A and B are shown apart, each in its own frame.
Chain A
Amino acid sequence: MDSIIMETAAPETAISEIAWTHVGSIDDIPVLGSRVVRTAQGDIALFRTAADEIFALEDSCPHKNGPLSQGIVHGRRVTCPLHGWVIELATGEAVAPDEGRTGHVPVRVEGRGVSLALGEAKLSRGGCRKACGHV
């Protein structure tokens, strides 16, 4: 696949307005694994699923701030290494019965290059400004 945009922008926000930060290549992230990007807003964990999808979450479990980047990736979820909470990679939501959410960051994959829309993420609230279509 040449160019995939993992999470499409909502129609009211033009992609051109979004500032994308290149962080590396998809090949740098192991399949079913994770790598960390250090940003001014804190550490962001990038995950790669078996289907080569890339997701980015705040590297902090909503439960006790466990580093999600150190967890086990399965399906489109990651299990936190500290107490076993399961987090949805696409939304940062904790899987029931646990409740909580961690911030997620819009990701773009073009060719093998991976970029993050850091300005669009509202990490502490767990939401993002619609750039990824998720509210």
Chain B
Amino acid sequence: MDMHLSSNNGPAVEPDAAQPDAIAPEGAALRIPGPAKERLVVVGNGMAGMKTVEELLAKAPGRFEITVFGAEPHPNYNRIMLSPVLAGEKSFDQIVLNSREWYDANGIALLTGEAVEGIDREAKTVVSQSGRVVPYDRLLIATGSMPFIIPVPGSTLPGVVGFRDLADVDAMLAAAAKGGRAVVIGGGLLGLEAANGLRVKGMDVTVIHLMPTLMERQLDPSAGMLLQRELERRGIAVLTGADTAEIVGDEQVRAVRLKDGRELPADIVVMAVGIRPNMALGRAAGLECGRGIRVDDRMRTSDPSIFAVGECVEHRGLTYGLVAPLFEMAKVLAHDLAGGEDGAYTGSVTSTKLKVTGVDVFSAGDFSGGEGTEEILFRDASRGVYKRLVLKDNRLLGAVLYGDTRDGAWYVSLLKDGADVSAERDTMIFGQGFGGADGGDPNAAVAALPDSAEICGCNGVCKGTIVKAITEKGLTSLDEVKAHTKASASCGGCSGTVEALLAATLGDGFKAAPTVKPMCKCTHHSHDAVRASIVERGLKTMAEVFQAMDWTTADGCASCRPALNYYLLCAWPGEYKDDYQSRYINERAHANIQKDGTYSVVPRMWGGLTSASELRAIADVVDKFAIPTVKVTGGQRIDLFGVKKEDLPAVWADLNAAGMVSGHAYAKGLRTVKTCVGSEWCRFGTQDSTGLGVKLERMTWGTWTPHKVKLAVSGCPRNCAEATIKDLGVVCIDSGYELHVGGNGGLHVRACDLLVRVATEEEVLEYTGAFMQLYREEARYLERTAPWVERVGLDHIKAALVGDAERRRALNARFLFSQSFSQDDPWAERAAQGVDRHEFKLLADVG
């Protein structure tokens, strides 16, 4: 290959003229002229094309000189995980499949951000956007598909996006960041995932769907209705039977108008009505095309040197838009390119899962019913479970599952085998594990699967492959199975089945292992076991814990050390010396690190109160240190962003001088006490909520807890301080105070549970101290109160605090004792007393 091709690819494959003895990083082979290899050019850096390359490298490494063109400016990523990226559950980096280093290490020339514009079949070359001409011996077209944009007026307005690539996700995230309204056109798989993501990101979302029920291609009407109800419960508006007439706007989309005249205001419109195979390149080159580029069972196009895989192809009259068939095509083609003889792709049985966290929907096969078919139905309305199996001649034709999708893999294997199901037909609707001594045991269900049963539909991994890897390689965890077999490495929908398979395969060996997770890789002990040992065996330093509990590392890791530091601090107040190097950077620097390495500073404003002199001092600090951004926080305080680390002590000194202390906005500890104005000013206020908030904050500030803690006090049940989504919220009522616990805003909103009603402020303070201490002593590190309350149950907390007055008083006393050691302003210690001075100074400046 020409050298100029590699040069785009970073220095790894380019000899360094200035340093002739330069050694290329490991694995990056220098291009040494040798016997000419066949040249394989891949157009399309997506999942189908790169799966083919991966399979080919595994089967016949080094056989081809490979060049990959990608129109997007990224390395190859897991497109089906864009939904979790949109919903904020994963970052882009977490869905990258192959990094640029991987391409380097395999000697593949990767050209990103460069679309291929034409194929010269005579000369056997492709020409790219920038005019680059690259010759090929074999050409693979894997250009995927494009979102279908319905041709209504306004469909090209800025603000109308598809849901196909990272650029679309970025556009949606940018819109969501501004809030406002989103309209999603299309109630299929992609549309609903987009709608859920935008809703999670805080937008008002309406889904417009032409058909009477959602996902009608994958779900029957009953399951579609259940799904619609669940989405509506999550605050997504759904309009079915709604036909789009026009997208309204001048320079930017403003609304969507329906044919019945309704107009829906919109700041962004997501078009997710379907995909269209992207076959322009193939068609322009004169390849035979139908709905996609036509290929035979060996993935050859009408030109024997040119192949195509993925969403851009038409195979036996069908096109595919799901990952599993794409991967099957890739495997067949790789086999063929590697010199294999008898590979053939014969079409796929597809199954579908919706990737919306907490919504279990599954379907497979043909469930449209019709002549000669029979149905088995199961409904449990109160549990929200619906299952429907469609049979013909005692063979399974299709399955739709809603609410309980555990048996999806089993039904798919029955479908694929076309097996006679007369024997299990009486009970098959209950799932595979039903009946006999194994009743309901999910491990028994996977144990009963044949080795050929496909567990991971995305990557086409069968049970036999996984079991073999578990036994031969001694795998014991989901992560290991993922790493060795790729099962559950794509959409993750089968991870429960893989775990059950681990349990079934390892048998007692697996069960003998603790079912609780170890704290981290340094130990096999769980958080709870380590904590119990610290107290029972009187372990008082981290080194003692490492020794007594057989740590496998000399000084722990970034995961266990902060946890141990907290557990020791909580167990031995006043005795244990805080281990500075086991703190996360925010707690070490007493400020919040930002993405650019600068910090943000939040002074405490007791109960949200401030004064002219405090505000003046903040303004002076902002001017003096040229602080770029000042923002009011959700916790009723003022956040100063973009402070250089070396300026922190001086900034704190000035704030201290005006009487302000650290707001601990960075701490796994008490953050804020949000209040409303209460009876002092408000005509509805029943009690002095602001004053009570200040008292609570004075009592609880400076404490270290398993995770951050936010309190609030509302002066009446109108609840302006949003107290019922806080870790502990007080709602004032005429007769006294309601205490609510275990609430949380954020990604998974959880409203508080009512703990107790009390009559006096003294009782509020005692309950608060006791609740804080119970949380401090019982929750695992990095466990917020919401999951903790859910894990141990409200009854457990009520029993400790409400049912046992003596225990409540003892807990509160322990809290106050521990507070006597923790209420020193960390800013003053650093600004005035020079604590940790090295943290804020360069070691040297030799620049």
Contacts and interface: CB of A to CB of B under 8 A. Distances in A.
B847 A40 contact: yes
B36 interface: no
Interface residues of B, number: 38
B572 interface: no
Nearest to A49: B555
B846 interface: yes
Given A64-B595, A67-B597, A82-B593, A38 B556 contact: no
Contacts of A125: 11, 25
A28 interface: yes
A21 B595 contact: no
B19 interface: yes
A81 B645 CA distance: 14
Interface in A39-96: 39-40, 46, 50, 63-67, 70-75, 77, 79, 81-84, 86
B558 A130 contact: no
Contact of B846 (A21, A63, A64): A21
A131 B190 CA distance: 53
Given A70-B585, A129-B19, A82 B843 contact: no
B558 A84 contact: yes
A109 interface: no
A38 B645 CA distance: 14
A31 B585 contact: no
A81 B561 contact: no
A81 B25 contact: no
Contacts of A83: 91, 93
A72 B582 contact: yes
B12 to A, nearest CB: 8
A73 to B, nearest CB: 7
A71 B597 CA distance: 12
B846 A127 contact: no
B842 A38 contact: yes
Contacts of B26: 135
A94 B553 CA distance: 19
B555 A50 contact: yes
A39 B846 contact: yes
Given A28-B838, A79-B557, A46 B843 contact: yes
Contacts of B580: 30
Contacts of A15: none
Given A71-B585, A81-B593, A99 B102 contact: yes
A71 to B, nearest CB: 7
Nearest to B10: A125
Interface string A99-135: 1110000000000000010100010011101100001
B844 interface: yes
Contacts of A97: 483
A82 B91 CA distance: 13
B834 to A, nearest CB: 15
Contact of B845 (A38, A72, A84): A38
B99 to A, nearest CB: 5
B589 to A, nearest CB: 7
Contacts of A35: 838, 842-843
Nearest to B582: A72
Interface in B794-847: 838, 842-847
Contact of B25 (A32, A118, A126): A126
B788 interface: no
B105 to A, nearest CB: 9
Question: Which 9 pairs show the lowest CB-CB distances between chains A and B?
Answer: A79-B558, A35-B843, A72-B558, A32-B581, A70-B585, A23-B844, A81-B585, A135-B23, A38-B845
11 contacts: A23-B843, A30-B580, A30-B581, A33-B581, A37-B842, A37-B845, A64-B93, A65-B597, A82-B593, A127-B25, A129-B22
